[in-house]
Amino acid sequence: MKLYIPSDYRATLAPETMERVIEALKTEFPFELSQALGLRRVTAPLFVLAGTGVNDDLNGIEHAVSFKVADMGDAKAEVVHSLAKWKRMKLGAYKIPAGYGIYTDMNAIRADEELDNLHSLYVDQWDWERTITKEDRTVDFLKSIVEKIYGVLLGIEQYVYEQHSHITPSLPDKITFLHTEDLLAQYPDLSPRERETAAAKKYGAIFVIGIGGKLADGKKHDGRAPDYDDWSTPTDGKHKGLNGDIILWSDVLDSAFEISSMGIRVDKEALLRQLDIEGCPERRELLFHRMLIEDRIPLSIGGGIGQSRLCMYFLRCAHIGEVQASLWSDEMIDACRQNNIFLK
């Protein structure tokens, strides 16, 4: 997505009011999420040691920002991309039983991002993880968790409306579940991004299931690293995958708006299978992977929900730079300013 400029755009709130509402949303949402999913807050790292397999590879190609730690013999540390694997290890360390979990305020730097309305070098999200049982590793259970999260999103939309009645609700009462294979069959001539846009516009809010593996056309809907989400486990005769994205429709951007990537995490079998599929079986020797293979890490479901994205969506902003401070090119700053979009 390149920079998109809505016609006749005006911010819904004055800058000083916007800051107060952002603070309120960043307090209200995690409280409601923790109540809905049985989570408690934990403190998260900004960086982890390289070479342990703990940092996330996202699509498998991004490079982490790194530095040497002088007081640890120049050991290499990496700024986190997200905390999917770190959280899962903490579930085990804290011995959190099935049905309960943790969440944290995750801050990251993703230096390889292509900057646009939704993407920034700086990432802030609520990362959450919840212990599950073997019997929970089903699409139905995944859907039940998505519905709980969507219920919280609906509540936040109502909260904003009650405080600022000119920002009217637009989300549908229910979220629609769609598999990537079905989207491909329905829109064979569209790109994955275009399929998401068409479906999000049609339904208002969708959860796209099965992201990471190759589809019937031999291509991936989108990339996922092989060692956190389970995108390869068969779920019926023609579908695979126990993960997905929550995508909303944005009238402001006239586009699909991804607000969360989440899923049931790999078990031992799915991990080994996906490492082989992606041609990186050597990763099984890394710390995280060994712990999982040796059953020292619990089964889990988890994901991330963008903090700035959530504020951006519910305050009807046109650019993520309206709700967070980051770096933008002079060209982007000027183009936005000329169209009443003022970046922090």
Report the pLDDT value the prediction gives residue 311, as an integer from 0 to 100.
97
Q: Considering the candidates 82, 125, 300, 308, report the single residue annotated as catalytic.
A: 125
What span, in angstroms and rounded, lies between the C-alpha atoms of 56 and 81?
Answer: 6
Whether residue 110 lies in the annotated active site: yes
The span from the CA of 239 to the CA of 226, in Å, is: 18
Round the average pLDDT of the chain to a whole number and report it: 94
Q: Residue 95 — pLDDT band, cuts 50, 70, 90?
A: very high
Residue whose tokens read 């049982």: 133
Domain assignment present for 226: yes
67, part of any domain: no
For residue 60, name the pLDDT band (cuts at 50, 70, 90): low
**Domain assignment present for 52:** no
- Please spell the DSSP secondary structure of 164-227, one letter per residue: -TTS-----SSPEEEEHHHHHHH-TTS-HHHHHHHHHHHHSEEEEE--SSB-TTSSBSS---TT
**Which is the catalytic residue, given 129, 227, 245, 267?**
245
Choosing from 261, 307, 324, 326, which is the catalytic residue? Answer: 261
- Residue 149's pLDDT is 98
Pairing of the two strands 205-209 and 243-250: antiparallel
The count of domains in the chain is 1
- The DSSP-derived string for 80-134 is -S--HHHHHHHHHHTTPPTT-EEEEEEEEE-TT---SSS--SEEEEEEEEEE--G
Catalytic residue among 34, 56, 250, 265: 56
Q: Picking from 13-22, 24-33, 108-117, 267-276, which range would have the lowest pLDDT averaged per residue? A: 108-117
How far apart, in whole angstroms, are the C-alpha atoms of residue 228 and residue 226?
Answer: 6
- Is 1 part of any domain? no
Confirm whether 120 is a catalytic residue. Answer: no
Taking residue 59's Cβ as centre, other Cβ atoms within 10 Å add up to: 14
Quote the pLDDT of residue 111: 84
User: Has residue 51 been placed in a domain?
Assistant: no
Q: Is residue 58 part of a domain?
A: no
Domain that holds residue 120: 15-46+82-337
Average pLDDT over residues 91-109: 95
> What is the residue whose two structure tokens read 């031992």?
268
pTM: 0.94
Does a structural domain hold residue 195? Answer: yes
Q: What is the structure's pLDDT at 139?
A: 97
Catalytic annotation present for 125: yes
Per-residue model confidence (pLDDT) at position 57: 63
Distance CA 223, CA 211 (A): 7
Active site (annotated) includes residue 261: yes
Of residues 112, 170, 258, 284, which has the active-site annotation?
258
Q: Name the packing angle between helices 307-314 and 139-163 (round to 10°).
A: 50
In a domain, 65, yes or no: no
pLDDT band at 161 (very low <50, low <70, confident <90, very high): very high
CATH of the domain at 104: 3.30.930.10
Q: Does residue 62 register a pLDDT over 70?
A: no
> Which residue type is seen at 95?
K
